[in-house]
Homo-oligomer: A and B are copies of this chain.
Amino acid sequence: MKYNLDLCVLEISGDINLGSILRLMENFKLRNLYLVNPRCNFSKSVSDFACHGKERINSIIKKESLREIVSSNYHYVIGTTANTGKNRNAISSANLNEISQVFSDEQDVLLIMGRESSGMNNEELSMCDYTINIPVNTDYPVLNLSHAVSVILYEIEKLKGLKTPHMKNSQKATGVEVDALLKNMKTFLDDINYFEKSARHKHLSVLEEMIRRKALSSDEIRFIQGFLHVNDLYKKGLNH
């Protein structure tokens, strides 16, 4: 399998975690590392712990917003959570084979790790196609950040050994296409005054989660965009 896997870490606070993650990225041959609003010091510990991954320090990409990264051309965006209650659609890292299409040929994939302290919030989780949870069935199930990364990258690595059946409809839409669809759906729903004002935010995030998680293909998005276009016709009074 020759997927391209980028990693994004939110507000990382520990230099040693950062170094350890760079080493793991070298171990498992990941592509880019994005840091959203990093809080760490970028001290010498980073390169000490990065070992053979220390060259990667120079190519870290810092961003101020996760949204900006998610909205680029990824086929799949994968979140992580230690708290399965937060997201009913969390998939166990032990069952990644159930979403093996994510890590198949030519897919661009973004894996997001949350803050050391508080993980990913609900808004961030709603941007993801899937959310991975590491099953630890004890009273202290919260792994340190870099150790959670090691387990997830290890499980992804294991999938390489699997002959995966491809989704027949393998032209999965990218984040750009999904964003354009969501934008049009919001416009449509606002035009028809669909939302109770108080529920608008919540309903929009249900909609976003549903659209992202269903892994629509480019064809399917074009299809839906086609009938949203009817709204424009209504607006212009051109309904034929």
Contacts and interface: CB of A to CB of B under 8 A. Distances in A.
Contacts of A49: 16, 144
B206 A210 contact: no
The quantity of this chain's copies bound in the complex is 2
A98 interface: yes
Interface in A147-179: 147, 150-151, 154, 157-158, 160-162, 164-169
Given A194-B230, A227-B194, A230-B194, A143 B135 contact: no
A193 interface: yes
A236 interface: no
A117 to B, nearest CB: 12
Categorize the interface residue count of chain A.
35 or more
B220 A165 contact: no
B135 A162 contact: yes
Interface string A103-137: 00000000000000000000000000000011111
Interface string A94-105: 110011000000
A16 B23 CA distance: 15
Contacts of A133: 165
Q: Quick one: which of A95, A144, A161, A193 has the most chain B CB within 10 A?
A: A144
B165 A92 contact: yes
A228 B131 CA distance: 29
Interface string A199-238: 0000100110010011110011001001100100110000
Interface of A: 16, 20, 23-24, 26-29, 49, 51-53, 84, 88-92, 94-95, 98-99, 133-138, 140-144, 146-147, 150-151, 154, 157-158, 160-162, 164-169, 189, 192-194, 203, 206-207, 210, 213-216, 219-220, 223, 226-227, 230, 233-234, 239-240
